[in-house]
């Protein structure tokens, strides 16, 4: 237990919320300004750390945080668990904070709180969503599990994989976007110093109110239908599907036995067996197990007997956890552990963290997915169910569009650099998880340019689901750049680490608003600086400067789109062209400045008076900083 100094963790907060209730109901709990931290990495220290939670609760604190799934191995304390033989883990087995107070918020108030704490305006997005195991490995492991079932080692195994991905924007922004797409009863955001936990879980592990104890295991998942009629048919199938019912009954029986270890004799009951709850992307079968418990029951004892939840292990629990440890590639961490809180009067509530991400401060994140495997399970169907459960995450970019703006040359009767444009679009669609059918798009482009008798701007827009649109606009003299084009300079600083800058997407509000503002001032385009104070690009063009006979352009990692005209000019001028960072002083001292894009080609520009003033002021700030340091 560590007592925190004043202001030491001022940015730490935990928001636990129910977004399925009515918007005016104060069902969200906000914990701020922690006074103590309890974090444990060692197996042999875990039970002592759990006792510290009880001590803090007894001193009048609200204690809130999580247990990692691997804490279950330490609590079971079986010598044949490999995990228990390790002296130290790289990630916490548990991480809690103690708070003096809790605030109850409505959904509206919670939304306003999150908005106020989203200081980074970079839009939330993800890319490079990758599973930690290949499909073939997954299917092989399902076969191994079914072999264990045939041999009588287990009845059901909850086998999981892990997605890794990169995200941009603050973790709070990522959570806001996820929560807007998935209404759940046991969601939450744990905003910790080095990482954040984003949970969109619909599953209750344990809730204690007075002497009442409740658990709601979830087993059985079906996708939503495309219509009310399809949904009705799916629900009917789900109610009568023997695999789904068997899976649910096994886990309910396991939870009933677990709860009976801590509940008063004869008090354990099952309610609402095979209840189905419907969420935005899927239907889930849920049952309820209840019991009576002593009001002063200690959390250490309860977790030692019940943790982890049987719905995410399988049955029988201990042997199945051994199989999980053998087959899964890496520790689950907070995924399928428990997130929740204890109150000073010894009530508590913990979820099962499914549909839960860990977002690290370096822009990398991970999320576990999995499902229960029975003797009758179809390996391919189980794999499809895993992918279904990640749909709410893989669809995070669905409000984006990708686009390519191309030039049709009437003289050559073709779209210039078409292959380059399609290669870039293919790469972007893959990275950002867009559906994309290249041959169909190519055929549609051929039809769009058929019969054109003039130079034309061709804009191809691609939606997340693979639908696309093509718009052609004639290019007349008014479309060409003016002979004395001016370049303005934005005072809006660009985050060069925002990876959407490397893709041609619809997430360009800042670029569009700055472009409109500078056009009203008579500028042809407007350029930007990044957080390092270096030049990146213009809103609709890449940027080159000429200095001492050399062409210089910012590298892509400065926050630059890999433009087609940029790529072409670099290839054509390889001996006199160099990618290197460009400072405000470089731009002011340039012999010439050129802008490039695929429609207008290479456009010479001059700095506007506003741009010269802005860049000069920036150079002055840099000089002052250098002198003071």
The token pair at 388 is 């279904």
What fold, for 481-628?
Answer: D-amino Acid Aminotransferase; Chain A, domain 2 (3.20.10)
Alpha carbon 479 to its chain's center: 41
SS3 at position 617: helix
Q: Which residues contact 289 (CB under 8 A, 6 or more apart)?
A: 214, 215, 216, 217, 252, 255, 256, 259, 268, 269, 270, 271
- Does pLDDT of 4 surpass 80? no
**Candidate list 177, 208, 219, 389, residue with the active-site label:** 219
Three-state DSSP class for 99?
strand
- Delimit the domains of the chain by residue range: 2-394, 401-475, 481-628
Note the pLDDT of residue 626.
41
Interval 580-616: pLDDT, tens: 999 999 999 999 999 999 999 999 999 999 999 999 9
Question: Over 60: is that where the pLDDT of 84 sits?
Answer: no
Of the pLDDT bands very low, low, confident and very high (cuts 50, 70, 90), residue 268 is very high
- Give the C-alpha separation, 311 to 251, whole Å: 6
Is the Cβ–Cβ distance between 530 and 558 less than 8 Å?
yes
How confident is residue 253, by pLDDT bands cut at 50, 70 and 90?
confident
Examine the pLDDT at 224 and tell me if it is beyond 90: no
In degrees rounded to 5, what are phi and psi of residue 536? -110, -75
- List, in sequence order, the alpha helices (H) in 261-358: 299-306, 317-327
CB atoms < 10 A from the CB of 209, how many?
12
On average, the pLDDT of the chain sits at 91
**Tokens representing 605?**
């520009």
Given a cut of 80, whether residue 217 has pLDDT beyond it is yes
pLDDT at residue 574 above 80? no
pLDDT at 462 over 80: yes
Q: What is the pLDDT of residues 304-360, one digit of tens each?
A: 999 999 989 988 999 999 999 999 999 999 999 999 999 999 999 999 999 999 999
The confidence score (pLDDT) of residue 1 equals 64
- Cβ atoms of residues 326 and 73 within 8 Å: no
From residue 391, how far is each of 18, 129, 140, 281, 282 by CA, in Å? 21, 11, 23, 7, 9
Please answer whether residues 553 and 577 qualify as being in contact, where contact means their C-beta atoms are separated by less than 8 angstroms. yes
Q: pLDDT class for 227, splitting at 50, 70, 90?
A: confident
pLDDT, tens digit, 9 for 90 and up, residues 463-496: 999 999 999 999 977 667 777 899 999 999 999 9
Fold of 401-475: D-amino Acid Aminotransferase; Chain A, domain 1 (3.30.470)
SS3 371: strand
Which pLDDT score, from 0 to 100, does residue 449 have? Answer: 95
Give per-residue pLDDT as tens, 153-205: 999 999 999 999 999 999 999 999 999 888 899 999 999 999 999 999 999 99
- pLDDT of the residue at 625: 40
Secondary structure (3-state) at 578: strand
Options 37, 52, 203, 385, the catalytic residue? 203
pLDDT of residue 87 exceeding 60, the answer is: no
Q: How many CB atoms lie within 10 A of CB 60?
A: 11
Phi, psi dihedrals of residue 506, rounded to the nearest 5°: -80, -5
Collapse the DSSP code of 237 into the 3-class scheme (helix H, G, I; strand E, B; otherwise coil) and give the result: helix
Told to judge if 216 belongs to the known catalytic residues of this protein, a careful annotator would answer no
Angle of CA points 492, 124, 172, to nearest 5°: 100
Per-residue pLDDT tens digits for 94-105: 999 999 999 999
Cβ burial, residue 151 (10 Å; 0-12/13-18/19+): exposed
Class for the domain spanning 2-394: alpha beta
Pair 277, 408: CB distance under 8 Å: no
- Please indicate whether the domains covering 401-475 and 481-628 agree at the CATH topology level: no
Q: What CA–CA distance (Å, rounded) separates 366 from 385?
A: 18
State the distance between the two ends of the chain, measured CA to CA, in whole angstroms: 39
Would you call 568 exposed, middle or buried from its count of C-beta atoms within 10 A (0-12, 13-18, 19+)? middle
Pick left, alpha or beta for residue 580 (phi over 0 → left; psi -120 to 50 → alpha; otherwise beta).
Answer: beta
Residue 29, pLDDT score: 97
For residue 203, indicate whether it is catalytic: yes
């Amino acid at each position: 237990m560590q007592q925190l100094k004043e202001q030491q963790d001022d940015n730490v907060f935990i928001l636990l919320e129910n977004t399925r209730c009515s918007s005016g109901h104060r069902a969200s709990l906000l914990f701020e300004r922690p006074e103590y931290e309890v974090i444990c990495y060692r197996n042999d220290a875990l039970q002592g750390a759990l006792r510290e939670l009880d001590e803090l609760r007894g001193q009048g604190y609200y204690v809130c945080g999580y247990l990692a799934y691997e804490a279950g191995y330490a609590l079971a304390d079986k010598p044949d668990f490999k995990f228990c033989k390790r002296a130290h883990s790289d990630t916490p087995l548990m991480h809690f904070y103690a708070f003096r107070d809790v605030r109850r918020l409505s959904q509206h108030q919670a939304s306003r709180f999150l908005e106020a704490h989203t200081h980074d305006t970079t839009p939330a997005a993800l890319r490079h969503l990758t599973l930690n195991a290949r499909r073939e490995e997954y299917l092989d492991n399902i076969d191994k599990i079914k072999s264990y079932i045939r041999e009588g080692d287990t009845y059901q195994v909850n086998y999981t994989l892990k997605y890794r991905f990169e995200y941009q924007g603050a973790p709070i922004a990522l959570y806001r976007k996820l929560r807007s797409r998935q209404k759940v009863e046991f969601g939450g955001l744990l905003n910790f110093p080095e990482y954040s936990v984003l949970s969109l879980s619909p599953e209750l592990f344990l809730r204690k109110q007075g002497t009442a104890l409740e658990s709601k295991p979830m087993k059985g998942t079906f996708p939503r239908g495309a219509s009310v009629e399809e949904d009705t048919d799916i629900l009917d199938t789900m109610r009568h599907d023997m695999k789904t019912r068997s899976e649910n009954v096994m886990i309910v029986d396991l939870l009933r036995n677990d709860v009976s270890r801590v509940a008063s004799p004869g008090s354990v009951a099952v309610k609402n067996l095979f209840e189905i709850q419907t969420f935005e992307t899927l239907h889930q079968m849920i049952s309820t197990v209840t019991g009576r418990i002593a009001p002063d029951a200690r959390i250490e004892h309860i977790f030692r007997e019940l943790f982890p939840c049987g719905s995410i292990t399988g049955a029988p629990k201990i042997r199945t956890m051994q199989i999980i440890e053998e087959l899964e590639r890496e520790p689950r961490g907070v995924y399928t552990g428990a997130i929740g809180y204890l109150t000073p009067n010894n009530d508590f509530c913990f979820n099962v963290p499914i549909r839960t991400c860990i977002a690290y401060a370096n822009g990398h994140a991970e999320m576990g997915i999995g499902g229960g495997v029975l003797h009758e399970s179809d390996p391919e169907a189980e794999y499809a169910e895993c992918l279904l459960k990640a749909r709410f995450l893989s669809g995070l970019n669905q409000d984006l569009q990708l686009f390519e703006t191309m030039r049709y040359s009437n003289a050559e009767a073709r779209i210039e650099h078409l292959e380059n444009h399609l290669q870039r679009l293919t790469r972007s669609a893959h990275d950002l998880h867009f559906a994309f059918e290249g041959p169909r798009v190519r055929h549609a482009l051929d039809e769009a340019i058929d019969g054109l008798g003039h130079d034309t701007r061709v804009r191809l827009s691609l939606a997340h689901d693979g639908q696309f649109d093509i718009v052609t606009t004639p290019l007349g003299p008014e479309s060409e750049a003016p002979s004395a084009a001016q370049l303005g300079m934005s005072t809006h600083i660009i985050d060069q680490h925002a990876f959407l800058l490397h893709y041609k997407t619809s997430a360009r509000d800042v670029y569009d608003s700055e472009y409109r503002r500078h056009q009203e001032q008579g500028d042809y385009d407007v350029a930007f600086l990044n957080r390092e104070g270096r030049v990146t690009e213009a809103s609709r063009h890449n940027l080159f400067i000429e200095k001492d006979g050399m062409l210089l352009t910012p590298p892509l990692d400065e926050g630059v789109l890999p433009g087609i005209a940029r790529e072409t000019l670099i290839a054509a001028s390889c001996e006199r062209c160099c990618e290197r960072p460009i400072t405000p002083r470089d731009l002011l001292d340039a012999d010439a400045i050129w802008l490039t894009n695929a429609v207008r080609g290479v456009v010479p520009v001059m700095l506007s008076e506003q741009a010269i003033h802005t860049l000069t002021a920036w150079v002055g700030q840099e000089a002052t900083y250098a002198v003071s340091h």
